[in-house]
């Protein structure tokens, strides 16, 4: 072993001791930084993956629209799309806001159609059991399934009746007709666990929706669900090319772009703040090593007298920073995995399970490890710690033997 | 005893050295010093405090450049070497014992002695054995695994002496090795030091304030007013 490596190691782990106080505290400091950074990133990844899945499950994979206008004569398009490999379902969908009266209390949910005749649906209502206290098969032209949070807010139970006015009542009022509401039976609650949907959406049959919006045989959009594992973006590109700009084609990613970007930004901002921990840790490493250089001036001088070259003396300190970076990173990764593995009892202890379910609708704190996060966090920590060793190293290398030996 | 046909192991020729004083002037410390340490001999260097003994040692060791004059190690001018060449040569040629023991606090006694060999690039089983043997020779056979913090001043200086001898140098330069030790301890450390050097035929340049130790060397040089007198 090179002597400078040997001394660097011995300074961190002196003979007859497990480790020096400096080494232990520095490694722990870096490890906590990594735990903070990588742990937060992993939990954020988990949240994002969950939120992404919910967005996809409530939006559908690909949305085809006529630039906001109602779409008609869709049979050809539908059968053409149905024959494409990889498309699981093609749903003609109508949706829009309505006014809903419950015991004379108005609310303004977003109605979404469900094609009760074909049963074709681009969101996994059946697969994921989105309907609670009832069944999607109970939906007919005179019934409605209401988002469960909306229902809870309005005090609606299954079996209640609600009155619905669509925006088309305005036309009737202009023609001096008396607008008549549509009375619908509540036959179930929509529970997607995505609070945005559960607190504002209600399902009615496609036929009822067409009638409410005067659509005839048309729809507002055609929604596609792809086989799992297919990339919606490239699929959408293909369809867009086939349709030759007749319709606009978007995916759940692009139609939720703003929200997804906010989520991504959130991760970046959190990371930037938490990175400060690692920076502070490296500062304290720098200060400790620098103090050690000052304290050991004469010993460093004697190393020089014994034939140590300045470069080697510098390496002796850089290696210490580097080693602390590596050991701290590994410890940090291990700590992260350990703590996130036991996250359930920890979360329960700290905030309580109820809070998690109430605010995020996740029964379990979601976690998703990404190799890139681990590599960049550790790489950053190691680089910073090595840099922290560089300043003391340069100072040590610059010592003149004669001056070092005169040092008091 | 001084054989003029055999050149000294360490020679200095008309060494001059001045220091700039803080007030801007210049103070001449060495004004043309000639010195020769014959192979295997011990030479003591005495002089008042501030006479320039340490400065001379620094120049002899190559730690500092003289303003004028030349230093020869085993007959070779050291200003011919690059810094790293000089460092490499020094490791095998010279040992050092200073007033402050300068042991690496994280290494135990054997490891401190071994370190000299490691830096010189020679390390292995034989080095460890030699370090043990040297510690035995300086009377620390029972303190091999002690850390410097667990050793007394005299014991630390013994470790430092063993370390200076570790690479079988031709000469050891020693600057007031008993400066931090009480009289009795200093006496016994020096007895051991002299014995070790003469047994192993290592030349010794000893800077000391103690007239007894100075007298026990083969010759004594007085440094005063920047010049050497016998
Ligand atoms: N780096 C330096 N700068 C200025 N003056 C110095 C320096 N080193 C030594 N001196 C001066 O040189 C003189 C001799 O110092 P030194 O060699 O340490 O004496 P000694 O070892 O004989 O006591 C002292 O007066 C000291 O002030
Ligand atoms: Mg001195």
The residue extents of the domains of chain B are 8-229
Mean pLDDT across A164-184: 88
Estimate the share of chain B in helix, then strand, then coil, as percent rounded to the nearest 5: 40, 25, 35
| Nearest-CB residue to B96 (from A11, A299, A305) | A305
Q: Does A14 touch chain B (CB under 8 A)?
A: yes
Alpha-carbon gap, residue B207 to B230, rounded angstroms: 14
Which uninterrupted H or E stretch holds B37?
A: strand B26-37
Contacts of B123 in chain A (CB under 8 A): 3
Q: Are residues A66 and A48 in the same domain?
A: no
Q: What angle do CA A325, B111, B124 make, to 5 degrees?
A: 95
CA B52 to ligand 1: nearest atom: 17
Q: List pocket residues of ligand 1, CB cut-off 6 Å.
A: B 19, 29, 47, 49-55
| pLDDT > 90 in chain A, percent | 71
Residues in contact with A237: Cβ distance below 8 Å, sequence separation at least 6, in sequence order? none
Q: How far apart are the first and last CA of chain B?
A: 15
How many CB atoms sit inside 10 A of residue A350's CB? 9
Per-residue pLDDT tens over the stretch A293-339:
999 999 999 999 999 999 999 999 999 999 999 999 999 999 999 99
Q: How far apart are the first and last CA of chain A?
A: 32
Query: Ligand 1 centroid vs B159 CA: distance in angstroms?
Result: 28
Q: Are residues A177 and A313 in the same domain?
A: no
**Residue B211, burial from CB neighbour count under 10 angstroms (0-12, 13-18, 19+):** exposed
Q: Do B213 and B189 touch, CB atoms closer than 8 A?
A: no
Alpha-carbon gap, residue A97 to A113, rounded angstroms: 12
Nearest to A282 by CA among A176, A382, A171: A382
Per-residue pLDDT tens over the stretch B126-183:
999 999 999 999 999 999 999 999 999 999 999 999 999 999 999 999 999 999 999 9
Q: Are residues A152 and A70 in the same domain?
A: yes
Alpha-carbon gap, residue A72 to A74, rounded angstroms: 5
Boundary (domain end) residue, out of A210, A229, A248: A229
Contacts of A291 in chain B (CB under 8 A): none
Chain A interface disruption, residue of B118, B120, B162, most A CBs within 10 A? B118
> Does residue A287 form part of some domain?
yes
> Does residue A112 form part of some domain?
yes
**Nearest ligand, CA B60:** 1
Alpha-carbon gap, residue B30 to B7, rounded angstroms: 23
Per-residue pLDDT tens over the stretch A61-120:
999 999 889 999 999 999 999 998 999 999 999 999 999 999 989 999 999 999 999 989
> Does residue A236 form part of some domain?
no
Q: Which residue do the tokens 């050291």 mark? A: B78
| Nearest-CB residue to B91 (from A307, A401, A405) | A307
Q: Which 3 state secondary structure label does DSSP give B202?
A: coil
Residues in contact with A183: Cβ distance below 8 Å, sequence separation at least 6, in sequence order? A142, A161, A162, A163, A164
Q: Are residues A291 and A394 in the same domain?
A: yes
pTM: 0.82
Contacts of A401 in chain B (CB under 8 A): 58, 61, 63
Joined tokens for residue A71:
């779409």
> Does residue A249 form part of some domain?
no
Quote the pLDDT of residue A255: 87
Q: Are strands B94-98 and B171-175 parallel, antiparallel or unpaired?
A: parallel
Joined tokens for residue B13:
């020729």
Mutate to test the pocket of ligand 1, among B17, B24, B28, B29 (most ligand atoms within 8 A of CB): B29
> Does residue A204 form part of some domain?
yes
| Nearest-CB residue to A401 (from B63, B116, B123) | B63
Quote the pLDDT of residue B1: 43
Chain A interface disruption, residue of B84, B101, B104, most A CBs within 10 A? B104
Q: Are strands A131-132 and A87-93 parallel, antiparallel or unpaired?
A: unpaired
Query: A291 CA to chain B: closest CA distance, Å?
Result: 15
In chain A, which among 290-309 make CB contacts under 8 A with chain B? 296, 298-299, 301-309
Alpha-carbon gap, residue B155 to A42, rounded angstroms: 56
Beta strands in A4-141 (DSSP E): 62-65, 87-93, 95-97, 99-102, 105-107, 110-114, 131-132
Alpha-carbon gap, residue B154 to B140, rounded angstroms: 11
Which uninterrupted H or E stretch holds A319?
A: helix A310-341
Q: Which 3 state secondary structure label does DSSP give A257?
A: helix
Q: Are residues A162 and A97 in the same domain?
A: yes
Which residue numbers of B have CB closer than 8 Å to A's CBs? 54, 58, 61, 63-64, 83-84, 87-88, 90-92, 94, 96, 98, 100, 102-108, 111, 115-116, 118-120, 123, 145, 147, 163
Residues in contact with B21: Cβ distance below 8 Å, sequence separation at least 6, in sequence order? B27
Q: Are residues A264 and A176 in the same domain?
A: no
Q: Enter the DSSP assignment of B79.
A: G
List the domain range (segments joined by +) for residue A209. Answer: 62-229
> Does residue A240 form part of some domain?
no
**Nearest ligand, CA B52:** 1
CA B53 to ligand 1: nearest atom: 22
| pLDDT > 70 in chain B, percent | 97
Q: Are residues A66 and A207 in the same domain?
A: yes
Boundary (domain end) residue, out of A211, A229, A247: A229
Residues in contact with A89: Cβ distance below 8 Å, sequence separation at least 6, in sequence order? A120, A121, A122, A224, A225
Q: Are residues A399 and A268 in the same domain?
A: yes
Q: Does A317 touch chain B (CB under 8 A)?
A: no
Q: Are strands B68-73 and B76-77 parallel, antiparallel or unpaired?
A: antiparallel
Joined tokens for residue B142:
């029972």
Boundary (domain end) residue, out of A213, A229, A245: A229
> Does residue A239 form part of some domain?
no
Cβ contact, residue pair B63, A305, below 8 Å: yes
Domain B8-229 in CATH 3.40.50.300? The answer is yes
Cβ contact, residue pair A309, B83, below 8 Å: yes
Res. B3 pLDDT band, cuts 50 70 90: very low
Q: Are residues A75 and A10 in the same domain?
A: no
Beta strands in A227-363 (DSSP E): 248-251
Mean pLDDT lowest for which of A191-205, A389-403, B190-204? A191-205
> Does residue A242 form part of some domain?
no
Which residue's alpha carbon is nearest to atom 18 within ligand 1?
B54
Total of domains in chain A:
2
Q: Are residues A21 and A72 in the same domain?
A: no
Alpha-carbon gap, residue A308 to A328, rounded angstroms: 29
Nearest to A259 by CA among A199, A198, A197: A197
Alpha-carbon gap, residue A29 to A22, rounded angstroms: 10
Q: Are residues A269 and A185 in the same domain?
A: no
Q: Are residues A171 and A281 in the same domain?
A: no
| Average pLDDT value for chain B | 92
């Amino acid at each position: 072993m090179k002597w400078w490596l040997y001394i660097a190691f011995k300074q961190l782990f002196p003979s007859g001791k497990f480790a020096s106080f400096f080494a232990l505290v520095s490694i722990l400091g870096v490890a906590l930084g990594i735990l903070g950074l990588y742990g937060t990133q992993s939990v954020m990844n988990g949240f994002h993956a969950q939120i992404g899945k919910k967005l996809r499950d409530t939006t559908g994979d690909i949305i085809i629209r006529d630039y906001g206008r109602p779409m008609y004569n869709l049979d050809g398009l539908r059968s053409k799309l149905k024959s494409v490999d990889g498309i699981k379902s093609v749903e003609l969908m109508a949706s829009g806001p309505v006014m809903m009266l419950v015991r004379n209390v108005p609310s303004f949910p977003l109605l979404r159609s469900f094609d009760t005749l074909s049963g074709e649906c681009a969101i996994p209502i059946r697969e994921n059991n989105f309907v609670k206290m009832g069944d999607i098969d109970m939906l007919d032209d005179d019934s409605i399934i209401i988002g469960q949070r909306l229902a809870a807010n309005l005090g609606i139970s299954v079996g209640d009746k609600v009155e619905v006015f669509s925006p088309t009542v305005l036309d009737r009022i202009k023609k001096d007709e008396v607008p008549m509401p549509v009375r619908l039976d509540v036959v179930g609650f929509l529970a997607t666990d995505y609070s945005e949907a559960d607190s504002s959406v209600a399902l009615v049959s496609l036929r009822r929706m067409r009638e409410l919006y005067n659509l005839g045989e048309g729809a507002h959009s055609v929604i596609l669900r792809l086989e799992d594992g297919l990339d919606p973006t490239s699929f959408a590109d293909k369809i867009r090319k086939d349709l030759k700009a007749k319709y606009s084609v978007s995916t759940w990613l692009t139609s939720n772009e703003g929200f997804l970007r906010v989520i991504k930004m959130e991760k970046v901002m959190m990371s930037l703040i938490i990175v400060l921990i690692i920076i502070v840790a490296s500062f304290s490493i720098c200060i400790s090593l620098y103090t050690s250089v000052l304290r050991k001036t004469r010993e460093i001088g004697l190393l020089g007298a014994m034939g140590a070259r300045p470069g080697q003396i510098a390496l002796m300190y850089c290696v210490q920073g580097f080693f602390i970076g590596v050991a701290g990173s590994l410890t940090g990764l291990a700590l992260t995995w350990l703590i996130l593995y036991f996250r359930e009892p920890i979360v329960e202890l700290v905030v309580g399970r109820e809070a998690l379910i109430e605010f995020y609708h996740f029964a379990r704190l979601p976690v998703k490890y990404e190799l890139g996060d681990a590599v960049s966090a550790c790489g950053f920590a190691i680089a910073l710690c090595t840099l922290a060793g560089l300043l003391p190293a340069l100072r040590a290398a610059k010592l003149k033997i004669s001056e070092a030996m005169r040092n008091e | 005893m001084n054989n003029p046909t055999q050149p000294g192991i360490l020679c200095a020729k008309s060494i001059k050295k001045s220091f700039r004083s803080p007030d801007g002037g210049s103070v001449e410390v060495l004004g043309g010093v000639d010195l020769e340490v014959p192979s295997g001999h011990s030479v003591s260097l005495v002089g008042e405090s501030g006479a320039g003994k340490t400065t001379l040692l620094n120049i002899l060791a190559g730690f500092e450049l003289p303003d004028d004059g030349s230093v020869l190690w085993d007959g070779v001018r050291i200003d011919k070497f690059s810094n790293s060449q000089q460092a490499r040569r020094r490791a095998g040629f010279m040992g050092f014992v200073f007033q402050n023991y300068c042991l690496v606090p994280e290494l135990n006694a054997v490891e401190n002695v071994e370190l000299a060999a490691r830096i010189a690039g020679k390390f292995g089983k034989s080095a460890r054995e030699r370090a043990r043997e040297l510690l035995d020779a300086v009377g620390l056979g029972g303190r091999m695994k002690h850390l410097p913090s667990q050793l007394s001043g005299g014991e630390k200086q013994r470790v430092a002496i063993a370390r200076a001898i570790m690479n079988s140098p031709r000469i050891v330069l020693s600057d007031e090795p008993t400066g931090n030790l009480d009289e009795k301890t200093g006496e016994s450390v020096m007895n051991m030091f002299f014995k070790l050097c003469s047994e192993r035929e290592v030349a010794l340049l000893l800077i000391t304030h103690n007239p007894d130790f100075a007298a026990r060397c083969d010759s004594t040089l007085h440094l005063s007013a920047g010049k050497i007198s016998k």
